[in-house]
């Protein structure tokens, strides 16, 4: 059972927390992590790209020259793909890139991502993350104090607009709630900054 120090927002140690082996001490499954990241990135695609085929471009109704006797190759339309201003052959059309993962794969991927952060020493547990006013300086000071001032994912136990908006202008900082955290954001972050309450909720639901 991995033990992690608990810090306050000033970076001072205020205790220790024993993390669940099932969530934070699991074996890291590389192939499942790769599958989860690929699925996440694929699901971010809008799939709205579209090119015009020869039937969709304007013009081209008249045969450019007669079939035989000109010495040139036969042509039926000036909007064939080989013509300038012609249609696009085999071009992209709107489509869905959605990839669905089953619950078991999602759970293993999340456990692997969290466990990899613990193993790398990149998990920082904060006793309580809060601010009394909309102040970027407060959250920036906290990240600097705990050693996460470069690229951090801040996981909150609940929606807190004060914290979310105070972090919005910090380069590299991203906030989310414990129930919306995803594998890609965890792996893409330099440090995972998570409140003690969020840890307890994650363990309660995913253990």
pTM tops 0.75, yes or no: yes
Cα Rg of the chain, angstroms: 27
Spatial contact of 65 and 99, defined as CB atoms under 8 Å apart: no
- pLDDT tens, per residue, the chain with 207 residues: 678 999 999 999 899 999 999 999 999 999 999 999 999 999 999 999 999 999 999 998 899 999 999 999 999 999 999 999 999 999 999 999 999 999 999 999 999 999 999 999 999 999 999 998 999 999 999 999 999 988 999 999 999 999 999 999 999 999 999 999 999 999 999 999 999 999 999 999 987
Beta strands in 19-151 (DSSP E): 123-126
Architecture per CATH, domain 3-45+98-206, reads as 3-Layer(aba) Sandwich (3.40)
pLDDT at position 1:
67
pLDDT at position 170:
94
The structural domains of the chain, with segments of one domain joined by +, span 3-45+98-206, 48-96
Residue matched to tokens 């919005």: 168
């Amino acid at each position: 059972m991995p033990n992690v120090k608990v810090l306050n927002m000033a970076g001072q140690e205020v205790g220790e927390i024993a993390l669940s082996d099932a969530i934070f001490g699991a074996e890291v499954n590389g192939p499942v992590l790769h599958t989860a990241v690929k699925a996440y990135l694929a699901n971010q695609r809008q799939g709205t790209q579209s090119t015009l085929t020869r039937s969709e471009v304007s013009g081209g109704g008249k045969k450019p020259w007669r079939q035989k006797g000109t010495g040139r190759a036969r042509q039926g339309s000036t909007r064939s793909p080989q013509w300038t201003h012609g249609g696009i052959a085999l071009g992209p059309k709107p489509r869905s890139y959605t990839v669905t993962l089953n619950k078991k794969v999602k759970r293993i991927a999340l456990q692997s991502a969290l466990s990899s952060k613990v193993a790398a020493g990149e998990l920082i547990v904060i006793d309580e993350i809060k601010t009394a006013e909309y102040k970027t300086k407060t959250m920036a000071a906290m990240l600097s104090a705990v050693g996460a001032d470069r690229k951090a994912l801040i996981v909150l136990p609940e929606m807190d607009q004060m914290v979310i908006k105070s972090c919005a202008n910090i380069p590299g900082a991203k906030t989310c709630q414990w129930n919306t955290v995803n594998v890609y954001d965890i792996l893409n972050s330099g440090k995972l900054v998570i409140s003690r309450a969020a840890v307890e909720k994650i363990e309660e639901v995913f253990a």
